[in-house]
Structure formats: C-alpha cells, structure tokens
Amino acid sequence: MLNFIYYPVSGILWFWHKIFGFALGDGPVAGGIGWALSVIFLVFSLRLILFKPFVHQVKSMRKMAEFQPEIKKLQKKYANDKQKLAQEMQKLQSEHGVNPLGGCLPMLLQVPVFIGLNHVLRSFNRPGLSFEQNSAIANYWIPATDVRSFLQARLFGAPLSSYITLPQTELNTFLPHVDRLNVILVSIPLMVVASIATHFTARHNVARQTAAVTANPQTAMMNKLTLYLFPLGVLTFGAFLPLGLLLYWLSNNAWTLFQQYVVYRKIDRDEEAAKAKAVEQRNNLAPKPGQKPVQQVKKPPPQPKKPTSPARADTAAPHDVASNGRGPVGSGETPGLVEDRARKKQSRKRR
C-alpha cells in the first residue's frame, strides 16, 4: 500500500550500506557500524533535500515581525472573540504572504520517512519466519544477501531491528543469539539522549521566534507539542521503536540543532550588514558637522525659442531716407512737396 515510501527509503538505506560496507567491511561489529551509519546518512540525505524549505520557514517567521503592530491591534480589538481573531490573523498573514504553518512543513515531510523506515526495519525480521527464511527474502530494494548482513549485524551486541518489547519468539530467531538485556542496555540510553535532544532542539527554535510569531494560536500550540509532548513521546514509546529508528530520531535532532545554528547566524549577519549599509548611506547624505545644509534650487526647464521671421523691406524705419534723395521710405511723397510745405509753415509763423 505504501510501497511508494518503502522502496525509496530502503533504496537510500541500501545505497549508503554499500558505501560503508565497502569501507568498513562486513561482520557483526563492522556490519553493525556500517548499517548504523547508513541510517544516520539516510537522515542527512533527507535533511539536505529539506534545507531550502527550512530556510524559507525561518525567513517567513522573521517577516512576521514587520507587521507585529497590526497583530497587536487585532488582539486588542478582538480580545473577547477568539474565533474572529484567528480569522483576522489568517487574513493578515495571507496579505503579507506569510504562512505560520510553513514552519511545520519540514517536520511534516519527515513523517512518511519515519513511517517507511520503521516498516523497513521490522521487515528484516518477519514474524513467524526463521533466520534462514528471513535472510532468503529481499526487503524491498535491499537484496537477500544484504538482508542476511543486516540480521547478523550488532550495535553493542543488539540488532538494529530489535526493541525492548520485541516478543521472545522473534528475539530467538536472531543468529547469533541475542539477550533482551543487551537490547535494553542499548535502547534506554538512546531513548534518553533522543528525548533530551528533541527538547533542546525545540527550545532553541522557540527562543528564536519573535513575539509576532508566538502570538499566533497555531504556532503557540505547535511550540508546546515540540517542547514537551514530542520529547515525552520519545521517552515513553521508545521501548516500542527499533534501535535503528532511535538512531534516526537522534541524528535528526543533531542535524536540526546544527542547521539552526548555521542558518540563524547567517541570517543575523545578513541583517546586520543591511543595517550597517543603511546607516552608512544615511551618514553620507547628512551634512558634515559645522556645515550648513545647502538647499538645492531646481532650475526651470528651458523653454523652446519662437522662430523669427525674416525682416521685410517695407517695415524699415519711416525716417530712413534713401540715398537717391527721395523722402522717407514708405511716405509716398516727393522731396519737393515736403520743402514747399515747410516754407509755408515758416511764413505763417512770421506773420
């Protein structure tokens, strides 16, 4: 039914086993180390695929801090109506392109791998079959020869597919023989360490969240689950989980802690560099001490010049006299008539 999960998980596990088996060799001890490293690197392969969604999650949470004042207004306005507050918060987040459940995406994508690995580990030692029968059946992508190698491998004396509550009949099928005490001595320390690592991973993540993020009811609920319920679940139900699955959980939390440390430090450096650049630009634009700010006056845009028409000959000054002795240009009178009129005026004045 879930073969689309089982085959990829078993294929990645087998791939890493061939690499570590070539490097370390085969046998109960070397094989146990090689198969344990195969489980751990199965986790690393998955987390590399989910690296970009994790970075997007962190940036999305940082972005929520930008509209924190609006969130506070909504909380004050709908203090007595939790349902309306949740609706308005969801609307506000969609307007800013932020999805608070996006922080759960990397964790939710790991659930199918967790289920698939649990099934593949249990399928190495099928109930009701003997050691020889199990070692002759392929386990999805893992061939029968490597199934035999897995059943013979031991991690501090315990098979990776064994767990504390494994029925005695199934425990007796392992060759060489395995005591339940060996399984308990390996399982309990892994359960405790995995539980502590789960709590501190969640604690480190919650400590980096802003007030705007923690104000969201959905995020607050997920924080409580990851801080307390998940670590308690590992400690309680670890007795029912194969050793390989406990290794998966422990290495997954170790990767998460390291990834958070690296990503958060890089984001902090980028934000500090952006702030320093903004301050430097503001200081460059500001006037120096003792210098009066100079107000720049904008010059009016140049107006287009009107085209000038060529001067006409008949627009010359009326007092200009032609060089041939005629009267003023354009007067239409002869020089003789002008002189006669001047004499008549002078004679009238004398009289």
pLDDT in tens, 240-254: 999 999 999 999 999
Q: What's the rounded Cα separation, in Å, for the pair 96 and 240? A: 44
> What pLDDT band is residue 42 in, cutting at 50, 70 and 90?
very high
The string of DSSP letters for 103-137 reads GGHHHHHHHHHHHHHHHHHHHHS-TT--HHHHTTS
Higher pLDDT, 60 or 245: 245
The string of DSSP letters for 216-271 reads SHHHHHHHHIIIIIHHHHHHHHGGGS-HHHHHHHHHHHHHHHHHHHHHHHHHHHHH
The mean pLDDT value for 234-243 works out to 92
- Total domains in the chain come to 1
> What pLDDT band is residue 37 in, cutting at 50, 70 and 90?
very high
Q: Look at residue 214 and tell me whether its pLDDT is greater than 80.
A: no
Q: Look at residue 213 and tell me whether its pLDDT is greater than 50.
A: yes
Query: Is 314 part of any domain?
Result: no
Q: Look at residue 316 and tell me whether its pLDDT is greater than 50.
A: no
pLDDT for residue 304: 65
Query: Is 20 part of any domain?
Result: yes
The mean pLDDT value for 221-234 works out to 87
Q: Look at residue 329 and tell me whether its pLDDT is greater than 50.
A: no
Q: Look at residue 257 and tell me whether its pLDDT is greater than 60.
A: yes
Query: Do the Cβ atoms of 245 and 114 come closer than 8 Å?
Result: yes
Longest dimension (CA), the chain: 165
The mean pLDDT value for 11-33 works out to 93
The mean pLDDT value for 263-272 works out to 83
Query: Is 166 part of any domain?
Result: yes
Query: Is 77 part of any domain?
Result: yes
The mean pLDDT value for 208-229 works out to 75
Query: Is 328 part of any domain?
Result: no
Query: Do the Cβ atoms of 212 and 164 come closer than 8 Å?
Result: no
Coil, helix or strand at residue 94: helix
Tokens of 285: 């634009």
The model's pTM: 0.71
Q: What's the rounded Cα separation, in Å, for the pair 203 and 187? A: 24
Domain assignment of residue 80, given as a range: 3-273
Q: Would you give the DSSP letter of residue 76?
A: H
Q: What amino acid is encoded at 75 in this protein?
A: Q
pLDDT for residue 290: 65
Query: Is 318 part of any domain?
Result: no
Q: What amino acid is encoded at 245 in this protein?
A: L
What residue has token string 């307007």?
95
Query: Is 105 part of any domain?
Result: yes
Query: Do the Cβ atoms of 58 and 267 come closer than 8 Å?
Result: yes
Query: Is 117 part of any domain?
Result: yes
Query: Do the Cβ atoms of 111 and 50 come closer than 8 Å?
Result: no
Q: What's the rounded Cα separation, in Å, for the pair 47 and 314? A: 96
pLDDT for residue 264: 84
Tokens of 346: 């002078």
The mean pLDDT value for 151-170 works out to 94
> What pLDDT band is residue 94 in, cutting at 50, 70 and 90?
confident
Q: Which of 113, 116, 158 is nearest to 140 (CA)?
A: 116
CA distances from 28 to 123, 176, 273 (A): 19, 9, 53
**Whole-number mean pLDDT of the chain?**
81
pLDDT for residue 157: 92
pLDDT for residue 124: 95
